[in-house]
Structure 1
Amino acid sequence: MPVPTNKSELQLAIKTNFDKLKKNLSTVPHEQTAVKDMEGHGKGTRMSINDLLAYLVGWGELVLKWNRQKDNNEEVSFPESGFKWNELGRLAQKFYDDYKDDDFHVLMDKLSHTVEAILALIAKKSNHELYETPWYDKWTCGRMIQFNTSSPYANASNRIRKWKKENGLK
């Protein structure tokens, strides 16, 4: 799927990639969702399916937080307070820790709610707000949303397919 360049393409990319992700997750055996046998987000780390979901929830919640702060004319710490862009592996670990007590079903519910909230946020914004003005550095709001939603959903689907193949799952 090409990189979205407007509001409707962004909405479609998020919905399409999230639907594919849900389909890939639907056949994962529940008893294997907490096993840390998938390549992690940090170099040399391992994660579970649950960790992958926590990562997606974490980034989605950051997108919502950034937008709330921007809308309230508050200063935004990108990517997150206490983290720099070159520390994303450490941020991923924070997300894993933040949601470590949640099981697969709870994480799926949280991710679904986060996606719904992001789509509602996009629906309230004009194409001009999303794609025609800089929002963070040189990036537009729409591009920042895409970087942290539809693209990671597609990446997660690829990781899950690879993991299923390595584990003899269909």
Structure 2
Amino acid sequence: MREYINKAELISEIQLRYKKYIAEFSEVPEEFKNIKVEQVDKTPSENLSYQIGWVSLLLSWEEKEVAGINVQTPMEGYKWNNLGKLYELFYETYGQIKLIEQIQQLNDKVEELCSWIDSLSEEELFKPEIRKWATTKAKWPVYKWIHINTVAPFTNFRTKIRKWKKLYYRSLL
């Protein structure tokens, strides 16, 4: 997993990866958002819903801890060893809105995420066991949770949406 020297570098990487990721959706018309293609596991809408869901969860963990609420990760009623049901919740929750609205929601969430990161001290971001919600056997610092739920999927899912576009548009020929 990538290491970062400071929060500015992490924010910059999130913004870079996000900009490249979200640009891929400019060529996807609303009427194609729920079309499945072979070899790609998510529709464009599911792809965005997944991202909105994880960034929202990440922000909610912090919000709850700051409010003194005990945080159950990944989410109340969901277990780490059965994330498929959580993904279905993301698809149901965010997939009902228009593609442009999903993009706007994700834009807003990423902006909120970057503001939150900027508000953290370097210690809060890079030292393990500072946040209860981030304390596991692995003893990850907060930045690793952020990376695995933003930079990594923005990078990997960009590849998926590019493949979806290539296969779908080829099928139209």
Instruction: Report TM bin, short chain.
Output: 0.7 to 0.9
Cα shift at 1:18: 0.4
The Cα offsets for residues 36-82 of structure 1, whole Å up to 9 and x where unpaired, read as: 33633xxxxxx320111111101111011001112223211111111
Cα shift at 1:161: 1.3
The list of structure 1 runs, each at least 4 consecutive aligned residues, that deviate by more than 4 angstroms after superposition, is none
**CA distance in structure 1 between the partners assigned to 2:12 and 2:109 by the alignment:** 16
The Cα RMSD (Å) is 1.6
Paired residue for 1:43? none
Cα shift at 1:30: 3.1
From the two aligned structures, give the one with the greater strand fraction: 1
Matches within 5 A, 1:1-170: 3-5=2-4, 6-37=6-37, 39-40=40-41, 47-134=42-129, 135=131, 136=134, 137=136, 138-168=139-169
Gaps of at least 5 residues in structure 2 are none
The Cα offsets for residues 77-98 of structure 1, whole Å up to 9 and x where unpaired, read as: 1111111111111111110011
From the two aligned structures, give the one with the greater helix fraction: 2
Gaps of at least 5 residues in structure 1 are 41-46
**CA distance in structure 1 between the partners assigned to 2:37 and 2:98 by the alignment:** 16
The answer to whether the 8 Å contact 1:4/1:146 transfers is no
1:26 counterpart SS class: helix
> For this pair of structures, how many residues does the alignment match?
162
% identical equivalent positions: 31
**CA distance in structure 2 between the partners assigned to 1:16 and 1:104 by the alignment:** 21
Counterpart AA for 1:3: R
Counterpart AA for 2:2: V
2:27 counterpart SS class: coil
